[in-house]
């Protein structure tokens, strides 16, 4: 995930949980990180997701999917339910996600960009992703 703080880009590896037909993405981070500070000051983010098509009829081909959107910290009312779903999708993070210093964020996706090759780029606007 890319964030920005004081004019400086910052990239972070995150575990995601997509919801609402991929119109929203949840992730967790600690409050004492540059990522958290950047997100509080500027919620605009880009999340790069690497993938691979594996159809049986031809060789696997890779792609890069970038989600562009705005991240907001999840409120206390939804926190436990969202955290439970995030742990379910990312069980190897269960111990790390028990910290009192943890914050959970929701990214409302505005647009996806799919890149399958140098000249094969597709944009998908998501419209109103609501809560």
Reference 31, options 23, 40, 22; nearest CA is: 40
In this structure, what token pair is assigned to residue 10? 């910052």
* CA separation for the pair 106, 71 (Å, rounded): 5
What structural domains and CATH numbers belong to the chain?
2-125 (2.30.110.10)
pLDDT tens, residue by residue, 4-14? 999 999 999 99
Q: What's the gap between Cα 20 and its chain centre? A: 13
pLDDT tens, residue by residue, 44-79? 999 999 887 766 556 657 889 999 999 999 988 888
For 7, which DSSP code?
A: T
Mean pLDDT value of segment 78-99: 86
Q: Are 12 and 28 in contact (CB under 8 A)?
A: no
What percent of the chain clears pLDDT 70, i.e. is strictly above it? 92
């Amino acid at each position: 995930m890319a964030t920005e703080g004081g004019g400086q880009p910052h990239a972070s590896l995150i575990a995601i949980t997509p919801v609402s037909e991929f119109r929203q993405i949840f992730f967790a981070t600690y409050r004492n990180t540059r990522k958290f500070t950047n997100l509080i000051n500027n919620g605009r983010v880009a999340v790069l997701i690497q993938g691979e098509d594996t159809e049986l009829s031809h060789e696997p081909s890779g792609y890069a999917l970038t989600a562009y959107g705005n991240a907001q910290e999840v409120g206390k009312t939804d926190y436990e339910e969202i955290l439970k779903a995030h742990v379910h999708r990312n069980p190897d993070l269960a111990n790390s996600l028990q910290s009192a210093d943890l914050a959970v964020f929701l990214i409302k996706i505005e647009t996806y960009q799919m890149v399958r090759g140098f000249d094969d780029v597709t944009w998908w606007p998501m419209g109103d992703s609501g809560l």
